[in-house]
Amino acid sequence: MKKISIILSVMLMPFYLVAQDIEEQELDFLNLLEEVTEIATKTKLNVDFVPGVVSVIKGSELQNLGITNLSNYNLNMVSNIDNIEDIRGIGGNYGFGKIKLLINSKTISTSLTGLGGLPAIPTAIIDRVEIIRGAGSAIYGENAYSGVVNIITKKEANNIFGDYTYFSSENSAQGAGVNAFIEDSDLKINLNLYRQSSDGIDTTITKDASFYLTGEEISKKFEKNSANSFVNMELNYKDFIFALNYMVVKNGEQEGKTGILPPNDGHLNYDEETVNIELKKKFDIAEIEFIPKIGYFSFNQDNDDMHLYPNGFIDNEQQEYPQGWTVTPIFKEEKYYAGFDSFYEWQNHKFLLGTEFFYTKMSEVMYKSNIDPLTNEDYHKTISFTGEKNILKDNISRESKAIYVQDEWSITEPLTITMGIRYDNYNDVGNSINPRIAGVYRVNDKNILKMQYAKAFRPPTFFQMYLQNNPVYKTSDDMKPEDIDTYELSYIYNSYLDIFRTTLFNSKLENLIAYDPVTTLTDNINKIETRGIEIEYIKHYKDFLKLNTNISFVDTKDKATNNELVGVADILGNLMLTFNLSSNPSFDKTLTLWYQYIGKKPRSENDIRDDMKAQHLINATLSFNNLTDNLSVKFGIRDILDEGLFYPSNAFTLHNDLPYENRSAWASLNYKF
């Protein structure tokens, strides 16, 4: 209790500060009031009036926090988000693939793994990020399980930009890109381009998985080298919208597949390519707005020469691997889809009716290795395996169709009830029905009460259903979707001086896919419950300080073990202060300080290590937003204390855990033309 009291005192200290004059903050507050989002209902609503819990973060806010590139681990300034695989405590061994990830409202989540590769999208390209914390399947269907994240790129912008990060004398990262807008009569073209390469942080590992076999320490670099490309184009002609998104993510092996560090050769082993093409058109039929769409999505993954064991390795069964054990799995997933949304207003009702149709197939699956996957015979060279020796079964495909309906009913001026339901049908895993009912009651112009019940689902991935030749992981022939029921109660206070939000939530997860040591099958065998509270506070102090702080507490329970979830922090907190250094209230010159707290994370019962201790991170950013009429410059230091930021590794793999951040310095330039 003493620790919690200290954290609360730090995070919520602004409640005790003296209020400032209202008139000097009115403009900033009115801008907040106008902040709208479509992510919760697909209709434009004020962010505080939407059903459920939604956060909107502007790209400029991300930049002021020192985030030059958005990746899996840096949405954690949002309340109760540890990383893209851990929202509201639904993380650790159960977090992967439970987020619906969108770029400009088009999914990049895959059927192969449930979650596609998120490249280092530069924040200079991002207009805003909209986030649902909680179930979203009533609108978005599969994988909108514990949340939905929609990254929206900039439009009608013309600028070039670049960023550079210094990790050490040997390690750095650099990137450059452009936003361009062309308009000619009825034609509008928006283009976002970026290219980035990085040596990654400079970190030395002393204990990897081999430590558990030999007891000997090592001294080897943890390579987080990467190269990323991002291309986004949107062409608007009259009522037609054509969109193209192309992303390439290349990474080094980092900790390796078994926790034994691979050679420090700088090789980019992981190569992922994502393509999404979509065409849609807006029609007005009588009083109905009708928006049909067709699209194509592909996800290519080529994992080149990944090291399972190093040269000369001897496993615990005394088998020697003179040339080590390397594998090269290659996958290509293709998806064809179509659907429509239609909107109709009648009296106090706003109706939404939509459908979606998907056909997904694995058009390429290949497995290369120097070791036979069935007999463990060493061929002393790399060969290709197909059929029963392939990593996945043959002829994998999935068909699905869905229909959803929603009614936003303004019963009275202050009270709105949102009711919706979605039905999804799969040819391989059956059906899923996901309802939502929510109420928003505006008590007066400052106080809002919200309640919501929502159900969501996640179908088994192709990996979970069709993986073969794995001595531990044996799949069940009767898998069904994972389910979650979430209940929320929220209170919002929004005045000229303060914005305060708090939410109580409870989620019950059923049919979770997990490994059963009794049957040696991976099947729907587990249940989990998470509950907690989220507190957020935003305040503007005259024209010299903007404050944004949040803290969340979560209690998790794995029903199979009656223990809290492995790898999930019990407390997450952020304190963000932006000081105005200019002589006017425009905040052209600012200093932003960001303190992040990540609570302790428990280990699994068979892990001999102590639980992960709480972690602290402090970043500082100095911004000159209008150094000249067209030029903006930012400088910053991440992890000022140089304590490092780590995410938990699995038991008996990387003993030192997974390093993500250590002290680094960075700079960025943005020039408008």
Q: Any idea where the domains of the chain sit in the sequence? A: 2-672
What torsion, rounded to 10 degrees, do the Cα atoms 155, 159, 160, 164 define? Answer: -80
Name the nearest CA neighbour of 208 among 255, 265, 253. 255
- What pLDDT digit, counting tens, does each position of 191-217 carry? 999 999 998 888 888 888 888 877 888
Residue 411 CA to residue 349 CA, distance in Å, equals 9
Is it the case that residue 531 has pLDDT exceeding 70?
A: yes
3-state SS class at 21: coil
pLDDT score for 553: 96
pLDDT score for 154: 95
Lowest mean pLDDT among 508-512, 513-517, 641-645: 513-517
Give the helix, strand, coil percentages of the chain, each rounded to 5. 5, 55, 35
pLDDT score for 157: 94
Amino acid residing at 551: I
Asked if 283 and 291 count as a contact pair (C-beta separation under 8 A), the reply is yes
Average pLDDT over every residue of 599-608: 90
Cα 573–chain centre separation: 18
Is it the case that residue 70 has pLDDT exceeding 70?
A: yes
Q: How confident is the model at residue 34 (pLDDT cuts 50, 70, 90)?
A: low
- What pLDDT digit, counting tens, does each position of 79-128 carry? 999 887 789 988 766 767 788 999 999 998 899 988 755 667 899 999 99
Residue 574 CA to residue 347 CA, distance in Å, equals 43
Sequence-distant (≥ 6) Cβ neighbours of residue 25 within 8 angstroms: 496, 497, 540, 542
- What pLDDT digit, counting tens, does each position of 585-599 carry? 666 899 999 999 999
- What pLDDT digit, counting tens, does each position of 358-395 carry? 999 999 999 999 988 888 888 888 999 988 889 899 89
In angstroms, the first-to-last Cα distance of the chain is 55
Asked if 464 and 472 count as a contact pair (C-beta separation under 8 A), the reply is no
Structure-block tokens of residue 122: 């530069």
pLDDT score for 586: 67
Residue 627 CA to residue 62 CA, distance in Å, equals 19
Q: Which fold has domain 2-672?
A: Maltoporin; Chain A (2.40.170)
Structure-block tokens of residue 571: 């407390």
Max mean pLDDT among 42-46, 234-238, 262-266, 327-331 falls in 234-238
